[in-house]
Structure 1
């Protein structure tokens, strides 16, 4: 059960982080590691700034919507409303006053601000992620030789990760041991 949620898979994440650090040490030059660190910091900065700007824009939009809702409510509150409806037969029916039900409340404002801020966080964070990836890609792509070394190191890391995952699925048995079991 604990491995079903990504947040609880600490050992796998730690193993992969250790494996990545080892590959960075052995397969890349110092300038390549500096380039990767610079690209990673650009990505993190773009994502953080995008998230903060998105939250700010969400709250600002929430304030505008709240002001508009209050203006509409006040406009309808001031207007003269009918109190009775007269039918063709001459019967009079009272019309209930719905203005207390239409008034914006603190709870509705809290829900609205939460939703607008969450939407702004999502939109801003994703936009920041896209611009950060573009910026990081440009940083890595400046030097073609360094880019080639980084790609080779990433391919080696990926192959090593896949080997470890395959070993974990096989239960740690080698191919010859599995063949001996079958035959």
Structure 2
């Protein structure tokens, strides 16, 4: 769905660029670019660390699963059960069902690395956003100009959306 919204993102990028050029000084624009690069760096590092930890956890899980199977296979298992009335029932061998499979290994590595990517990326983004916010908040005047420019940008975006909806455009076209 997001791939089909290029037209909307181009329009918003153009509007944001206009506000950056008219409402902010060069120092403010440099501060925003520095803050954006901090968020990007932290998110990338967090994602990489998350994938690494996810793969490490998957490796540990797979090796412990294999060790459990090897121990289970080596143990003597009962082959039949004798009931009090003398009746004997044989027990099925479940050893082949517990054997680690290639599909199980793939799923373990895939889901553990995906989970690590998500968790690491989100934590990295949170750390980067905090770091970027702190770097913007260093200069109170610059921060005020940036906040004012952002409020004006949001107001323009909402005005354009309201004008488009009042103009009779389809709501579904605006949403998608």
| Shared fold (TM-score, shorter chain, > 0.5) | yes
Look up the match of 2:39: 43
Distance 1:106 1:45 in 2: 35
Look up the match of 1:104: 100
Deviations 1:101-127 (A, max 9, x none): 101111001011111111101100110
Number of residue pairs the alignment of both structures matches: 168
Instruction: Please report the RMSD computed on the Cα atoms of aligned residues, expressed in angstroms.
Output: 1.0
* Runs of 4+, deviation exceeding 4 Å: none
Larger radius of gyration: 1
SS at match of 2:86: coil
* TM-score between the two structures when normalised by the length of structure 1: 0.89
What pairs with 1:10-159 in structure 2 (closer than 5 Å)? 10-159=6-155
Q: Which runs of 5 or more structure 1 residues have no equivalent in the other structure?
A: 173-183
Q: Using the TM superposition, give the Cα deviation of residue 89 of structure 1 relative to its aligned residue in structure 2, in angstroms.
A: 2.0
Distance 2:2 2:103 in 1: 33
* TM-score between the two structures when normalised by the length of structure 2: 0.93
SS at match of 2:93: coil
